[in-house]
Amino acid sequence: MMKRVFATAGALLLAAQGALADHHLPQVQALETFACNFAKGKDLDDFLAVAKKWDRFADDGFSEPYEGFVLTPFYFNADTDADVYWVGVSPNFAAQGTTADEWMAKGSALQKAFDQVAPCQSHSQMASIAVRDINRSTGVVDFSACSLKPGATPEAIGAADRKMVEFLEKVGSSTAIYRWYPVQGTPNAPIDFIQVNADGSNSEAGANKDKFLKGGGIAVQGALYGDLMTCRNGPSAHFQSVGGSD
C-alpha cells in the first residue's frame, strides 16, 4: 500500500490550481519520490550516513533550492513493500529540473553509494499544494488516497478547505494538510490525489486526532467534502529532513 500511495496517477492539476482560495493560484511545489529496499546487511543508519554526504554535496552542487526528506513506514500492512522512501521538495518544476540535471552531471558517485545501501524500485514526480502549511523538519505523516466526485469544482473544494482550516484552528489542531497530485512515473490508478496530514510527533498526531473527533470532525468532514470526494486511509510514516540546498 505504501508504494501505491507514493506512486499513483490520474491527477487533476486543474483542480489543484483552484483548490485554495478566491481564484488565486496556490503555490505548487514540485516533489520527487523514491521507494527503496535495503540491501542485505544495510539499514536506516547506513542510508542516513549517505544522506549526510548528500547534504554536503547539495550545498554547492545544486544551484536551486531542494530539501530532502527520508520516510520510514510506521503504520503499514502486507502491501507495504519498501523499507525507506525519499521525498525531494523543490519550489517549482523549473528548479526541480535544474537540480535533476545537476545531480545527473555531478552526483554519480553518491548515487552509487545510495544504490549500494538501498536500491530503489520506483521514482515518481508529484505536484504538491498546501491546504494548511505548517513547516516541520521531523514528524509523522498519514496518507489517504482520494478521488473526486463528478461535479466537484475547484471553487467548491477551495470553499470546503477554508472551512476545514477554520474548524481545525477552532479545536486547536496543529495538523498540516497537503495534497500530492501525481505527474510522471506513476502507474494508472483510480485516484486523483494523495492527501497528506503531517504532525510533529506521534503524541502530537494522537492529540490532534482526539481534538478532531471530540470537536465533531467526522460530521464536519462529511458535510464539507461528502459531495466532493472520497478518501480511503492508507499508511503512515515517520519523516525527517536530511538537509539540501537553500
Per-residue pLDDT tens over the stretch 5-21? 554 433 344 444 444 44
User: What CATH number is attached to the domain comprising 188?
Assistant: 3.30.70.100
3-state secondary structure of 3: helix
* Structural domain harbouring 158: 2-245
Confidence at 26, pLDDT banded by 50, 70, 90: low
Per-residue pLDDT tens over the stretch 110-156? 999 999 999 999 999 999 999 999 999 999 999 999 999 999 999 99
Residue 26 DSSP symbol: P
Confidence at 80, pLDDT banded by 50, 70, 90: low
Residue (of 95, 91, 107) closest to 55 by Cα position: 107
The percentage of residues in the chain with a pLDDT greater than 90, rounded to a whole number, is 84
What is the predicted pLDDT for the residue at 190?
A: 73
Residue (of 33, 8, 3, 1) closest to 194 by Cα position: 8
What is the predicted pLDDT for the residue at 23?
A: 47
Question: CA Rg, the chain, in Å?
Answer: 18
Per-residue pLDDT tens over the stretch 160-213? 999 999 999 999 999 999 999 999 987 666 789 999 999 999 999 999 999 999
Determine the Cα–Cα distance for residues 210 and 213; give it in Å rounded to an integer.
5
Determine the Cα–Cα distance for residues 241 and 31; give it in Å rounded to an integer.
14
Confidence at 27, pLDDT banded by 50, 70, 90: confident
What is the predicted pLDDT for the residue at 175?
A: 98
Q: Which is more confidently placed, 4 or 148?
A: 148
What is the predicted pLDDT for the residue at 14?
A: 41
Q: Which is more confidently placed, 100 or 23?
A: 100
Confidence at 77, pLDDT banded by 50, 70, 90: confident
**pTM tops 0.75:** yes
What is the predicted pLDDT for the residue at 191?
A: 84
In total, how many domains does the chain have?
Answer: 1
Strands 29-36 and 138-148: unpaired
